[in-house]
Chains A and B, each alone.
Chain A
Amino acid sequence: MKKSFELEPMDPELTKVLSQFRASAHAWSAQEYARVSLEPPAVTGRRWKLPHRWMMAVCLVITAVSVPVHREQVRHAQQVEASMEAQKNAQFLVDVDADVSQRVPASMSPLASLIASDEPGSEQITSGTSRQGERQP
């Protein structure tokens, strides 16, 4: 010991035990020190570690955000497409109805009024008249 402990002078027995403890620790450390393979602390290597971690974190955040956004966009596009399709169909039916009603000849109108709307075959007659009407210019 370089200098005795100022607070309390140690008894010889304790001094001896601590000396043995120190010698034991030194011997153990010397043995372990010989076994370690200390790598040179690479400053340049460590500089890359932080960006790599940050890049990884940024990638994770981007993935976490972009996947739900993409799903939402796809869902929205599907909804818009379905809506447009429904509108298109509805418009088509309106056009067909308008076209059919315009093409019924005026001379056949009295006959149509004679057929009850719930009578079987009325649709056939109506469509027949429409086809007939188409032939007339």
Chain B
Amino acid sequence: MEHSLTIHGMPQARAASGAQEEFDEIFLRHRAQIFRFLLSLLRDRDAAETLTQECFLRAFRSWPSFRQEANPLTWLMRIAVNLTRDHWRNRKLQFWKRATAVDVSEVSDWLPGQGSNPEQRASVRQQIEAVWKVVEELSPRQRTVFLLRFVEEMELNEIAEATGLNLGTVKSHLSRGLEAIRTRLRRQS
């Protein structure tokens, strides 16, 4: 589905310039990926939608200061990661709000490969659910690193840049996540 999402309310001077077109291009290219990262991190469609909008709004505001030599996706991911930190902090304060995250068993219903037989599909489903459960048990920072790596397929240095962590910490978080998945899969099999 194609969305007609564009940034409105921009200053006239900028709208007339090429910066507007450049930003629109960045927006169209990366919005689905930012939404996917936020969705997998929060497992909450409404929150992912809101934070995706907020992410691009903040990006637009700081677009003039954005260094063109940097990777736009990494820059956007950094904004998204910061937004999720604020989101979690607010959630802690708003303890009366009901949990809106989708259950991992529900998320695991989305299976790749339609042609496999029911037994194989059940096995794959179990494995995917096991990974989601591990992801759920990780700390927010570890979860962020894990999803950037294994869902968004970002390079380690890009993850380090997006999260503000050093490379060693990123590797350490990934190692822990992978080890937890191995353990769970072993226990499951």
Name A's B-contacting residues (CB within 8 A): 1-3, 5-8, 10, 13-14, 17-18, 20-36, 38-46
**Contact indicator A42/B1 (Cβ below 8 Å):** no
Q: Shortest Cβ distance from A86 into chain B, in angstroms?
A: 55
Tell which of B57, B60, B150 touches A18, judged by Cβ atoms closer than 8 Å.
B150
**Bound form: Cα–Cα A131–B131 in Å:** 112
Instruction: Given A29-B40, A41-B54, decide whether A34 and B1 contact each other with a Cβ distance below 8 A.
Output: yes
Instruction: Scan residues 136-189 of chain B and give those whose CB is less than 8 A from a CB of chain A.
Output: 147, 149-151, 153, 155-156, 171, 174-175, 178, 181-182, 185
**Contact indicator B155/A24 (Cβ below 8 Å):** no
Q: Besides the contacts A6-B156, A18-B181, A20-B127, what 11 more A-B pairs have beta carbons closer than 8 Å?
A: A13-B185, A14-B185, A21-B131, A22-B150, A25-B110, A26-B36, A32-B45, A33-B32, A40-B6, A41-B56, A45-B9
Residue B18 CB within 8 A of the other chain: no
**Contact indicator B150/A21 (Cβ below 8 Å):** yes
Residues on B with beta carbons closer than 8 Å to the beta carbon of A22: 150-151, 153
Interface residues on B, range: 35 or more
**Contact indicator B9/A42 (Cβ below 8 Å):** yes
**Contact indicator A27/B39 (Cβ below 8 Å):** no
Q: Give the residue name and chain of the B residue nearest to A39 (CB).
A: B53
Instruction: Given A21-B150, A43-B7, A46-B57, decide whether A38 and B178 contact each other with a Cβ distance below 8 A.
Output: no
Q: 10 A-B contacts, Cβ less than 8 Å apart?
A: A2-B153, A14-B181, A17-B131, A20-B112, A21-B128, A33-B32, A38-B49, A40-B5, A43-B8, A43-B10
**Contact indicator B112/A38 (Cβ below 8 Å):** no
Among B6, B35, B60, B61, find the residue whose CB has the most chain A CB atoms closer than 10 A.
Answer: B35
Instruction: Scan residues 118-138 of chain B and give those whose CB is less than 8 A from a CB of chain A.
Output: 124, 127-128, 130-132
**Contact indicator B39/A29 (Cβ below 8 Å):** yes
**Contact indicator A40/B36 (Cβ below 8 Å):** no
**Bound form: Cα–Cα A57–B157 in Å:** 45
